[in-house]
Amino acid sequence: MDKMKLIEQTVVRDDLPEFKAGDTVNVHYRVREGEKERIQQYEGVVINERGSGANKTFIVRKMSGSVGVERIFPLYSPSIAKIEVKKRGKVRRSKLFYLRDRRGKSARIKERDTSNKTNQTKKES
């Protein structure tokens, strides 16, 4: 079992940011076309995270025109150049598959407050 953990540690990258379901992310991934290689961006909402360790994947959903497009990314894939977190979403579920049935304003996700609450002082009465 220790050999499996050693192999996983070589695959797992520490340069990727933490994100959860509901966050809007911009995934930069490498695309090979013939002998050329370029970086393509895919921006959307994370609707699912599954797996653990080196097998962790996440699904990003975006609207392309009026059609919803979803793509599954392996988190530690070498084809992912970088991941940017654009917005932190405030959701109460870990799987947001219900967004597939929503259109327009009902598909919006509230933004999570990222300010540090420990630094705010309380009013004394």
Residue range of the domain that includes 69: 19-97
Which residues, 6+ apart, have CB-to-CB distance to 28 below 8 Å?
39, 40, 41, 80, 81, 82, 83, 84
In a domain, 118, yes or no: no
In a domain, 107, yes or no: no
Taking the complete model, does pTM exceed 0.85, yes or no? no
Place of tokens 């895919």: 42
At residue 114, does pLDDT exceed 70? yes
In a domain, 50, yes or no: yes
Residues 10-64: tens digit of each pLDDT = 888 888 899 999 999 999 999 999 999 999 999 999 999 999 888 899 999 999 9
Structural domain count, the chain: 1
Joined tokens for residue 4: 């499996």
In a domain, 9, yes or no: no
Helix (H) / strand (E) element for 49: namely: strand 36-50
Backbone torsions φ then ψ of 38, nearest 5 degrees = -140, 165
In a domain, 124, yes or no: no
